[in-house]
Structure 1
Amino acid sequence: MAGANIVTGDLVVATDTTYFLAEGPIWDPVRSRVLWVDIPAGNVLSGVLRDDGTIEVLESLEVGESAGAVAVSDRGDRLVAGRHRLLVIDVDGAVASLPPIESGPRRFNDGKPDPAGRFLVGTLSSSGHSEQERLLQIDRDGSTRVIDTDLTLSNGLGWTRDSRLFYNVDTERRLVYRRPYDVATGATGPREVFLTFDTGFPDGLTIDENGFLWIAMWGLGEVRRYSPAATLDRTIEVPAPHTSSLSFVGPDLDTLVITTARQDLTDETLAEFPLSGRLFTINPDVRGFPQPLWSGLPTPTTEKQGTR
Structure 2
Amino acid sequence: MEQVPTSILSLEPCHLGEGPTYDVTTDTAWWFDIREGRLFEAHLGSSSVRVHALGRMASALGRIDAERQLIVAEDGLYIRQLADGAMTLFRPLEVDNPATRSNDSRVHQSGTFWIGTMGRKAEPGAGAIYALHGGKISTLFPGISIPNSICFSPDGATGYFADTARAVLYAVPLNPATGLPRTEPEVLLRHTGIGGLDGSVVDADGQIWNACWGAGRIDIYSPQGERLRSLRVPARQASCPAFVGPDLSRLLVTSAWQDMDATARAADPEAGRTFLLEASARGRAEPDVKLA
TM range (shorter): over 0.9
Checking the alignment, whether the CA contact within 8 Å between 2:68 and 2:82 is kept in structure 1 is yes
Query: 1:128 deviation in Å?
Result: 4.7
User: Given the alignment of the two structures, is residue 162 of structure 1 paired with residue 155 of structure 2, yes or no?
Assistant: yes
1:186-209 CA-to-partner distances (Å, cap 9, x unmatched) read 431221011111231111000111
User: Given the alignment of the two structures, is residue 240 of structure 1 paired with residue 239 of structure 2, yes or no?
Assistant: no
Which residue matches 2:63?
72
Which residue matches 1:94?
86
User: Given the alignment of the two structures, is residue 148 of structure 1 paired with residue 148 of structure 2, yes or no?
Assistant: no
User: Given the alignment of the two structures, is residue 134 of structure 1 paired with residue 125 of structure 2, yes or no?
Assistant: no
Which residue matches 1:302?
none
> What is the aligned counterpart of 1:111 among 105, 112, 115?
105
Checking the alignment, whether the CA contact within 8 Å between 2:110 and 2:178 is kept in structure 1 is no
Query: 1:9 deviation in Å?
Result: 4.4
Which residue matches 1:290?
285
Which residue matches 1:56?
48
Whole-angstrom CA distance in 2 between matches of 1:231 and 1:128: 28
Checking the alignment, whether the CA contact within 8 Å between 1:171 and 1:203 is kept in structure 2 is yes
Q: Bigger shift: 178-187 or 237-246?
A: 178-187
> What is the aligned counterpart of 1:187 among 156, 169, 180?
180
CA 1:226 to 1:128, structure 2 compared with 1: closer, same or farther past 3 Å? closer
Query: 1:45 deviation in Å?
Result: 1.4
SS at match of 1:7: coil
Checking the alignment, whether the CA contact within 8 Å between 1:117 and 1:140 is kept in structure 2 is no
Query: 1:99 deviation in Å?
Result: 4.2
User: Given the alignment of the two structures, is residue 171 of structure 1 paired with residue 168 of structure 2, yes or no?
Assistant: no
Checking the alignment, whether the CA contact within 8 Å between 1:30 and 1:74 is kept in structure 2 is no
Q: Bigger shift: 94-103 or 114-123?
A: 94-103
Bigger share in strand:
2
Equivalenced residue count is 287
Query: Structure 2 stretches of 5 or more lacking a match?
Result: none
CA 1:230 to 1:69, structure 2 compared with 1: closer, same or farther past 3 Å? same
Checking the alignment, whether the CA contact within 8 Å between 1:37 and 1:70 is kept in structure 2 is no
User: Given the alignment of the two structures, is residue 255 of structure 1 paired with residue 247 of structure 2, yes or no?
Assistant: no
Whole-angstrom CA distance in 2 between matches of 1:241 and 1:164: 33
Whole-angstrom CA distance in 1 between matches of 2:165 and 2:60: 19
| RMSD of equivalent CA atoms | 1.6
Give TM-score, length-normalised by structure 2. Answer: 0.93
SS at match of 1:285: coil
CA 1:48 to 1:231, structure 2 compared with 1: closer, same or farther past 3 Å? same
1:124 counterpart letter in structure 2: M
Checking the alignment, whether the CA contact within 8 Å between 2:71 and 2:78 is kept in structure 1 is yes
Whole-angstrom CA distance in 1 between matches of 2:266 and 2:117: 31
Q: Bigger shift: 26-35 or 161-170?
A: 26-35
Whole-angstrom CA distance in 1 between matches of 2:284 and 2:123: 35
2:59 counterpart letter in structure 1: G
CA 1:186 to 1:13, structure 2 compared with 1: closer, same or farther past 3 Å? closer
Whole-angstrom CA distance in 1 between matches of 2:178 and 2:62: 21
1:90 counterpart letter in structure 2: Q
SS at match of 1:172: helix
